Amino acid sequence: MSAHLYIEGAESKEDQVRCREGFRNLIGKLGFAAGKRMPRLSACGGRNAVFDHFKTAHAQRKQGDYIAMLVDSEDPVADGEKAWEHLKSRDNWDKPAGADDEQVLLMTTCMETWIVADRAALKAHYGHRFKENALPPLIDLEQRNRKEVHEKLTQASSDCSNAYAKGKRSFGVVGILNPTALSSLPAFARMARVLKAKL
Distance CA 76, CA 89 (A): 12
On whether the CB atoms of residues 157 and 1 are closer than 8 A, the answer is no
> Given a cut of 90, is residue 60 above it in pLDDT?
yes
Task: Tell me the per-residue pLDDT of 81-93, one tens digit each, with 9 for 90 and over.
Answer: 999 999 999 999 9
Distance CA 199, CA 178 (A): 20
- The fraction of the chain above a pLDDT of 70, given in percent, is 98
Residue 152 banded pLDDT, cuts 50, 70, 90 = very high
φ/ψ region of 140 (left if φ > 0, alpha if ψ in -120 to 50, else beta) reads: left
* Cα distance between the two ends of the chain: 9
Residue 129 banded pLDDT, cuts 50, 70, 90 = very high
Task: Tell me the per-residue pLDDT of 13-39, one tens digit each, with 9 for 90 and over.
Answer: 999 999 999 999 999 999 886 666 899
Task: Tell me the per-residue pLDDT of 154-176, one tens digit each, with 9 for 90 and over.
Answer: 999 999 999 999 877 899 999 99
